Amino acid sequence: MASGGTVFGGFRCEALVGSGSSPEARACLKALVRTYGELLAIYSFMHMALKEKSMRLLIGELADRATEIKRSVRSSPAGSPGLAGQGHALSHLGRADRLLVEAEEHLQRGVLVSDAPLLGLLSNAAIELKRSAAILGTTTFDTTACCGGSLLGHGEEDHGSAFDLGA
């Protein structure tokens, strides 16, 4: 720990990670961070599609997916008493939520007078998500499916065998 606070992934926070919440509640919050990460990715692509007219075909579907995600966020138990010990992570997540709500308002207008505000909102949301993810020890995006995900719970052993590539 550095003096004056805890360093998480290169930035400093003044509060410590809460330890009063249950593992289940913590897991729930981690999942919520990754859900917001997916929302951030969708809004980032929507921003790009607004700039590139030929990429606009998928904007409607992206917006539909964003609506689904927001519905799932509303039904998550993130505000439950079980998460009381995670106030610090929740505060960063709350900021990310507000920034993404504001970004969505820009996207819904469909026409960007200026790119800078929306880019700023998305960039700041990414920073807040990164902070909450670092506090919780998770990632801002779901990597559980990477290379087989939970299907392959253990690493490949090195058998050291000579194998026939053409087999």
Partner 1 sequence: MGAHSIWVLEYSRSPVHPVSGVFYGAHNQGTMNLPFAYILIKTGDAVVLVDAGHDAADFGGQIANSIGVTGWTPPDLVLGECGIRPQDVTHVILTHAHFDHIGGLKFFPNAKIFIQKKELESWMWILTKGRRFRSLQAGLNPADILYLTQANIEGRLKLVEGERENLVPGVHVYPAFDTHTAGSQYVVVETAGGDGKFVLSGDVIYTYSNLTGGDANDPCFVPPGLANGSQTRLIESAEEMLKIVGMDERRIVPMHEEQLSKIYPSRQTDRQLMLVEICLADGDVSRV
Residues forming the site for partner 1 (CB under 8 A): 9-10, 37-38, 40-42, 44-45, 47-49, 51-52, 54-55, 58, 61-62, 64-65, 68, 115-116, 119, 122-123, 126, 130, 139-149, 155-161, 163-167
Inter-axis angle of helices 59-74 and 23-51, to 10 degrees? 160
> Under a CB-based contact definition with an 8 Å cutoff, are residues 149 and 155 in contact?
no
Q: Closest approach of Cβ 37 to partner 1, in Å?
A: 6
Q: Which is nearer to partner 1, 4 or 163 (CB)?
A: 163
Q: Which is nearer to partner 1, 11 or 22 (CB)?
A: 11
Q: Closest approach of Cβ 38 to partner 1, in Å?
A: 7
**Helix, strand, or coil here: 163?**
coil
| CB-based burial, 121-159: b 16+ in 10 Å, e otherwise | bbebbbebbbbbbbbbebbbbeeeeeeeeeeeeeeeeee
Q: Closest approach of Cβ 81 to partner 1, in Å?
A: 27
Q: Which of 60, 135, 125 is nearest to 94 (CA)?
A: 125
Q: Closest approach of Cβ 1 to partner 1, in Å?
A: 20
Beta-sheet strands, E only, within 76-134: none
Q: Which is nearer to partner 1, 51 or 84 (CB)?
A: 51
